[in-house]
Amino acid sequence: MLRLWFILLSVWFLLAYGVKAEPSADYVCKSTGRLLFESRAPHRGHNLSFCFDFRLATCCERSHSDQILYDIAPFFRNPESFSTACVSLTSQASCSPCDPIVGVGERRGLCQEFCASWYKSCSEDYFEFDEAKRKLLPCGSNSLICSPVYRISDSSSEFCRMAGFEIIPEPECYDGPNKDDLARFAPREDAAARASKPSYSAQEAQKGRKFLALAAVACIGSALGLVLYKHVRNKKRYDNQRATPESQTRGRVSAAGAAAERRRNRRG
């Protein structure tokens, strides 16, 4: 009987949680700077046009990566005009909002060490201060006034602030992408793959719920049948005991004894 009730409890648990339960999001993206994010968990970045380091997990959509790529497009239109190290670190800094650790608010700004490396790598590359965007950007073909970074800013801290980044003390600051962090924020299931197969997942979930519901009904029916069987068996056993010769003899002896007792009482 205990085994049967354990089966029933297991089926109920599967019906309640096993098929349609979804894990809750532990992290939620928050808007940062000029990039506005939806309040949702970090997701796969399969459609990013840039910031490919964060395809495993990101808060950015394609429109965000388009915006970042537009700002540093001169790097790729005139690659011979910029050093490889400058392009790499500028890309990392520009893409930092797409890093899920920044997107959910665990890190912000830049670390002083990262900023110093960035400044050193770009010190001889030509940048301009974009008045409309209020930030330092690489010079392009339409730029009017361009200068080497070391002439625009006297220090790494000033350079990073002019590029639109605040210097934050460790450990809250950002110092570049980290594979362990990306793995920690990676969603358990690829949302894009799930969305591409809505009919499959819905049908399978429906079949699973129907199967478990039938199993639950079968188990409940078996339990009721077992209870009814035991009740009928006990009743038959009781009736058989009453109908045995020994039981009848005991009944006649008891009746005779009662009659004798009544006669004695009348004589007395």
Lowest mean pLDDT among 53-57, 144-148, 259-263: 259-263
- pLDDT class of 102 with cuts at 50, 70, 90: very high
Distance of alpha carbon 35 from alpha carbon 37, whole angstroms: 6
Give me the percent of the chain exceeding a pLDDT of 70.
Answer: 62
pLDDT at 255: 56
pLDDT in tens, 183-226: 999 987 554 444 444 443 445 555 556 655 666 656 576 666 66
Distance of alpha carbon 42 from alpha carbon 111, whole angstroms: 23
Residue 105 in this model has a pLDDT that exceeds 90? yes
Distance of alpha carbon 33 from alpha carbon 198, whole angstroms: 35
Quick one: which of 57, 60, 16 has its CA closest to 38? Answer: 60
Residue 136, C-beta contacts closer than 8 angstroms, at least 6 positions apart = 127, 128, 129, 130, 149, 152, 153, 159, 162, 163, 164
Give the number of other CB atoms < 10 A from CB of residue 130.
13
pLDDT at 187: 86
- pLDDT class of 133 with cuts at 50, 70, 90: confident
Lowest mean pLDDT among 114-118, 172-176, 218-222: 218-222
Residue 76 in this model has a pLDDT that exceeds 70? yes
Mean pLDDT over residues 23-45, rounded? Answer: 84
| C-alpha 175 chain-centroid distance | 25
Residue listed under structure tokens 């109920």? 12
Mean pLDDT over residues 108-126, rounded? Answer: 97
Residue 82 in this model has a pLDDT that exceeds 90? yes
Quick one: which of 150, 128, 151 has its CA closest to 140? Answer: 128
Residue 16 in this model has a pLDDT that exceeds 50? no
pLDDT at 104: 95
pLDDT at 241: 63
Residue listed under structure tokens 């949680």? 17
Residue 147, C-beta contacts closer than 8 angstroms, at least 6 positions apart = 126, 127, 128
Residue 128 in this model has a pLDDT that exceeds 90? yes
Lowest mean pLDDT among 4-8, 144-148, 250-254: 4-8
pLDDT in tens, 251-260: 554 555 666 6
